[in-house]
Amino acid sequence: MNKDTCDAGETIINPYQPEMMRIVRKYDLTSDVRFFQVRPMDPARAMSLCYKPGTFMMISSLGTGEAPISISSSPSRPGLLEFCVRNVGTVTNSLFRLKENDIIGVRGPYGNGFPMEKMKGKDLIFIMGGLGAAPLRSPLLYALDNRDDFGEIYVLHGAKVPGDMLFQKEFFDMTERHDLHTMLTVDKDDTGKWPAKVGLVTTLFKDVKDIDPSNTFAAICGPPVMYRFVIQELLKLSIPKNQILMTLERRMKCGVGKCGHCVVKHIYTCIDGPVFSYWDVLNMKELIY
Amino acid sequence: MRILKLKKKDLKKFLESTSSFGELWTPVKKGERYVFQKAAPKDVDPDVLRTILPLKKFMVPQRFTMFKYDREGYEEQVGKVGNRVVFGAHSCDIAGLNILDKLFRETYPDPYYIERRKKTAIIGVSCMPDKFCFCDETGTDSVDEGFDLFFSEVGSDFYLVWVGSSLGDDLTRNAGGLFDENVSQEDIQKFIDWKKTREKAFKLDIDLTAMPSIYELNLNNKVWDKIGDRCLACGSCSMVCPTCNCYNVTDTVALKEVQGTRDRAWDACTLCEYSLVAGGHNFRATKADRLKLWYTHKLEAFVGAYGKPSCVGCGRCLTNCPVDINVYTVAKTLRGEEVFFK
């Protein structure tokens, strides 16, 4: 009861301290999204990086500030962290000016991530739109690297136009695999050469057949407009509401449940999220719109 | 808990003795109102009720530097924080600090907060409510933790002093025998009488019963738009609230070389840019949306998470909001009363 207000044992690691990491590789995924591979300066640290798929990190660019960015790599492939950054704000803009071997500040990982343990043995459907492929690539690669642990895997990936599809080669390669169902679509083919489907991502659901709905987890990430329609399709497939997962974005300044910006009721998107179930969302209307 | 007695006439002597721990801060008059300031023991007025800013300013300064950075990386700047003795906090203030403790000392402890919290002795003083106080409704009219010492006025001659921490204990033992261990039956009776008098002194009638459910039921009520139209989005309510802790972080670049500071400053969820993300989407673009966040967080969400509201009934929103949007008027409005438009 009697809390001592002066406890020397309360020494702590500064949770806001960025760790300096090196950009080892970068290339453009689309006209405004760039892929970054980042590695801690210390090789031992690089190999011991530990994170869950679906978590994010706070990335600092010297002199501009910090922004939350989802991890696109999978912990099953240690040594490097991968991020997809869209050039939209001051921090991301300055990240775009950096070259290989430049240094950035990184702290994290933060957030709950996907419940990969619970998802084991289940069928999985990944539904991604636009930049939504960035966070979902992590659990997808994780599932593929541990392929025997999961049932059927469906990947439904949509973009506005062919030039907007992230990791195009990687996903086209996946369409060749026999151990998963990869379906790619664009809203509009402005090139005339698009070899896959044309139409909204929701049109791909008619080919989702070999799943056991009560034993299926779905993971959604995409632009806000996408959620409502995708959720309807998943409900039509009879997937339980608490097995429909989505990863959300909010303004964040701390990542550790302090600064308040990402709060929705008593939920901090940064520590209680960013992965929420549709059931969570139904109970907190503000979460997706 | 150890409870001692101190004669009122010895208060100044006691406060002088605390200088061996740190510098004294206490409410001092500034214009019409009071602010916590560095002061001499002779300037202490234990009867001051409400300061403009609550105790949070001691633990989280309005603006401070978290890191200095250069090409090598980010260097932590917890900084040299001197020891302070804060005299004159009331139970609502301390209850507010206890809520900040949950936030800043538990999951991912915040070193900036903890350093200042450790080096600040909190000495509470009992008070008589004015017409804006409603800590009796929020269950914060007395506190049993969060302070080093708590002085309860009982009768005209002395204080009963609750010793809340080992530092508090040191402060009493260092006072040259001013404190008396012997609390008599008569003193206890005086304390009970004083408690009863205080209970009767609360004038503001604010009904917080079932508030979480009432908020939830009113989430889509058009009355929020009316309150929103009225709000100036000035952020004052957050600045003065003992439990508002939101902050913003900005990097400032020095003019030469690659170096600068990462600074942290108080923020308010009622300000327009609060939920704005890169790309231009604002999750809470309207004032009504932001007010809903402020009030649901205080009176609904926190209750769900911790079993009590994160409002401590200090009355600062009542005395500060230029357009009378406060816990009292909002709670009444959501209960269906026409408060603003009479």
CATH number of residue A47's parent domain: 2.40.30.10
Range of the domain at A80: 19-110
Tokens 């300061």 belong to which residue?
Answer: B51
Q: Is residue A261 part of a domain?
A: no
| Count of pairs with CB atoms under 8 A, one residue in A, one in B | 150
Contact A257 B108 (CB under 8 A): yes
- For the segment B118-127, the average pLDDT, to the nearest whole number, is 95
Q: pLDDT per residue over A71-86, tens digit each? A: 999 999 989 999 999 9
Contacts of B274 in chain A (CB under 8 A): 251, 261
Contact A62 B165 (CB under 8 A): no
Tell whether A67 and A145 lie within a shared domain. Answer: no
Per-residue pLDDT, A1: 32
Q: Which of residues 147-186 of B touch A (CB under 8 A)?
A: 147-148, 164-167
pLDDT at B341 over 80: no
Q: Is residue A10 part of a domain?
A: no
Q: What percent of chain A has pLDDT over 90?
A: 75
Secondary structure (H, E, C), chain B: CEEEEEEHHHHHHHHHHHHHCCEEEEEEEECCEEEEEECCHHHCCCCCCCECCCCHHHHCCCEEEEEEEECCEEEECCCCCCCEEEEEECHHHHHHHHHHHHHHHCCCCCHHHHHHHHCEEEEEECCCCCCCCCHHHHCCCCCCCCCCEEEEEECCCEEEEEECCHHHHHHHHCCCCCCECCCCHHHHHHHHHHHHHHHHHCCCCCCCCCHHHHHHHCCCCCHHHHHHHHCCCCCHHHHHCCCCCCEEEEEEECCCCCCEEEEEEECCCCCHHHHECCCCCECCCCHHHHHHHHHHHHHHHHHHHHCCCCCCCCCHHHHHCCCCCCHHHHHHHHCCCCCCCC
Contacts of B293 in chain A (CB under 8 A): 263, 286
Q: Is residue A76 part of a domain?
A: yes
Contact A253 B276 (CB under 8 A): no
Count: domains in chain A: 2
Tell whether A145 and A171 lie within a shared domain. Answer: yes
ipTM of predicted assembly, 2 dp: 0.84
Tell whether A77 and A126 lie within a shared domain. Answer: no
Q: Which of A54, A80, A110 is the last residue of a domain?
A: A110
Tell whether A70 and A27 lie within a shared domain. Answer: yes
Contact A3 B283 (CB under 8 A): no
Per-residue pLDDT, A6: 44
Contacts of A250 in chain B (CB under 8 A): 275, 277, 283
How far B235 CA sits from the closest chain A CA (Å)?
Answer: 14
Per-residue pLDDT, B275: 81
Q: Where are the domains of chain B?
A: 2-64+75-201, 211-248+267-334
pLDDT at B342 over 60: no
pTM for the full predicted model: 0.90
CATH number of residue A181's parent domain: 3.40.50.80
Tell whether A90 and A164 lie within a shared domain. Answer: no
Tell whether A142 and A223 lie within a shared domain. Answer: yes
Contact A257 B165 (CB under 8 A): no
